[in-house]
């Protein structure tokens, strides 16, 4: 009985090994095929996203100087520069963090609200990106979406408040590859502009600035020409 059991076990082992080998081979080939189908960035499928023009910030009674210290990607997206996987892929030429920083800084600078550094700033911004690119739409529509939060801090008092901002944009459907890239770029740029506008022109920023700077003394009035008598 013992010899028979050993022979049966050996036979079973020999019959199972080829099956295991076939399964492992199928897994390897499947992974290789998936890797081969993964889109790669090229000059032809890469887009340059930027604001067409700076977004004019709202007016302040006492205009503060802002400085952006950090922009952090909190989206959890392992490939943040890949915004469309189909049709060979569509890639950004820069990280969403860099694109967002440039858009906000250019808009602040256009109104002389951008500080040269954190030391000279009245308020310091930290940006956290939760979504940058396309969101799920219907059919062939591309749904551009940009969503981030900004922590606004008074470096002198260490008080801080958080502001939410989001933007969306939907362009027409497109079938040709070049038109798809054009619409993807237009959608993301529209969503980015909308999000920056919501940040810089929204009531959240106005109320946060007023709250964080409420105890800041006004700048001393300039002495009249000819000296003080």
**186-223 per-residue burial string, b: 16 or more CB within 10 A, e: under 16:** bbbbbbbbbbbbbbbeeebbeebbeebbeeeeeeeeee
Q: Is the pLDDT of residue 227 over 50?
A: no
Cα separation, 49 vs 185, whole angstroms = 6
pLDDT score at 10: 56
Closest CA relative to residue 83, chosen from 142, 19, 160, 128:
142
Q: Predicted confidence band at 36 (pLDDT cuts at 50, 70, 90)? A: low
Cα separation, 191 vs 198, whole angstroms = 10
CA distances for 174 relative to 142, 161, 196, angstroms: 9, 42, 27
Task: Say which CATH superfamily domain 43-212 falls into.
Answer: ABC-type transport auxiliary lipoprotein component (3.40.50.10610)
Cα separation, 116 vs 215, whole angstroms = 23
pLDDT score at 138: 58
Render pLDDT for 119-168 as a digit per residue (tens, 0 to 9). 999 999 999 999 999 997 655 567 899 999 999 999 999 999 999 999 99
Render pLDDT for 2-12 as a digit per residue (tens, 0 to 9). 565 555 555 54
Give pTM, 2 decimals.
Answer: 0.78
Q: Is the pLDDT of residue 194 over 90?
A: yes
Render pLDDT for 49-106 as a digit per residue (tens, 0 to 9). 999 999 999 999 999 999 999 999 999 999 999 999 988 999 999 999 999 999 999 9
pLDDT score at 223: 44
pLDDT score at 216: 75
**Domain definitions of the chain by residue range:** 1-31, 43-212
Cα separation, 74 vs 149, whole angstroms = 10
């Amino acid at each position: 009985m013992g010899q028979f059991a050993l022979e049966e076990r050996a036979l079973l082992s020999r019959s199972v090994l080829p099956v295991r080998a076939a399964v492992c081979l199928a897994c390897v080939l499947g992974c290789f095929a998936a890797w081969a189908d993964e889109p790669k960035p090229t000059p032809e499928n890469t887009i340059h996203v930027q604001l067409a023009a700076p977004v004019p910030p709202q007016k302040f009674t006492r205009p503060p100087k802002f400085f952006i210290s950090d922009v952090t990607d909190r989206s959890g997206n392992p490939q943040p520069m890949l915004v469309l996987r189909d049709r060979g892929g569509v890639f950004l030429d820069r990280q969403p963090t860099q694109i967002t920083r440039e858009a906000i800084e250019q808009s602040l600078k256009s109104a002389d609200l951008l500080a040269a550094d954190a030391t000279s700033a009245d308020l310091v911004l930290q940006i956290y990106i939760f979504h940058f690119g396309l969101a799920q739409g219907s059919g062939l529509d591309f749904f551009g979406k940009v969503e981030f939060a900004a922590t606004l801090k008074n470096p002198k008092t260490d008080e801080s408040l958080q502001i939410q901002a989001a933007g969306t944009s939907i362009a027409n459907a497109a079938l040709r590859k070049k038109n798809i890239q054009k619409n993807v770029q237009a959608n993301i740029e529209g969503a980015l502009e909308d999000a920056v506008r919501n940040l810089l022109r929204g009531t959240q920023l106005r109320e946060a600035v007023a709250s964080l700077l409420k105890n800041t003394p006004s700048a001393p009035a300039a002495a009249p020409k000819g000296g003080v008598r």
